[in-house]
Amino acid sequence: MNDRPSGDNENKQRFEAEALIHLNTLHRTALRMTKNEGDADDLVQDTYMKAYRFWDKFEEGSNCRAWLFKIMTNLFINDYRAKSRSPQIVDLEDVDDDFLFGHLSALGPADNPEKHFFNKVFDDDVKLAIDELPDDFKIVVVLSFLEGFSYQEIADITDLQIGTVKSRLHRGRKLLQKSLWKYAIKNGFIKEPA
């Protein structure tokens, strides 16, 4: 195919080498954001198609993974979330700063409730607890906890002020602890003090 500009193939190869290698981490975050496999599939595909369209805008040498997460987060907020009709239930009840730590410590040191808790809680419960977070908190928690982005990177990805990132992460962490505590009690891993 001599009529195809040779840069085209090079471009695609560079895209595969630099962008497509991040597929797995985008995929797992998409699963938490959309809460189902079909939407996660679509979201990741749309992210890559958009990234490919704007590939010439990507500054070589800058953080490709963060750039892809920015595209995906924007698509999720502006497109996918707008489409889903499920209302966001925001837990307005105040949660103590040391919710989980305080509750576990209150059980007494006898049979090491902390260790018990961390050993017993299911993977699926953790995923469910993340899925149930209101999107604003979930996005920040996932980018920090699962993907290890710094406060500044999360601020760049979400177009939020760094102070907002910190406060959402703080609140998200507390909400996560609260629902994991509930799961632990529901599943009988922890006996709620009378």
Partner 1 sequence: MNCEEALKRLFEVVDKEVTQADKEEILEHLEHCRHCMSRFEFEEVFKTFVSEKACISCDSEKLKNKILFRLDQSRGSSR
Q: By the criterion CB under 8 A, which residues form the site for partner 1?
A: 4, 8, 12, 15-16, 20, 23-24, 27-28, 31-32, 41, 44-45, 48-49, 52-53, 97-98, 100-101, 104-105, 114, 118, 121, 123, 126-127, 130, 144-146, 148, 150-151, 169-170, 173, 176-177
Element (DSSP H or E) covering residue 162:
helix 162-186
Residue (170 or 186) nearer to partner 1, CB: 170
15 versus 189: smaller Cβ distance to partner 1? 15
Asked if residues 176 and 129 have their Cβ atoms less than 8 Å apart, the reply is: yes
Helix (H) or strand (E) holding 114: helix 113-120
CB of 85 to partner 1, least distance (A): 26
- Calpha distance 13→16 (Å, rounded): 5
Nearer to partner 1, 32 or 85 (CB): 32
By C-beta, is 73 or 144 nearer to partner 1?
144
To partner 1, the closest distance from the beta carbon of 38 in angstroms equals: 11
Look-up: residue for tokens 């982005």? Answer: 149
Minimal distance in Å, beta carbon 22 to partner 1? 10
d(CA 122, CA 188): 12
Q: Which is nearer to partner 1, 70 or 173 (CB)?
A: 173
Structure tokens at 173: 């962490």
Residue 142 CB, shortest distance to partner 1, in Å, is 8
Determine how many CB atoms are found less than 10 A away from the CB of residue 23.
13
Spell out the SS3 assignment of 10-37: HHHHHHHHHCHHHHHHHHHHHHHHHCCH
With beta carbons less than 8 A apart as the criterion, state whether 101 and 159 touch: no
Q: Which two tokens stand for residue 78?
A: 């502006």
Nearer to partner 1, 146 or 185 (CB): 146
Closest CB 145 distance from partner 1, rounded Å: 5
Q: What is the closest distance, in whole angstroms, from the C-beta atom of residue 99 to partner 1 in the complex?
A: 11
- Side chain identity, residue 97: D
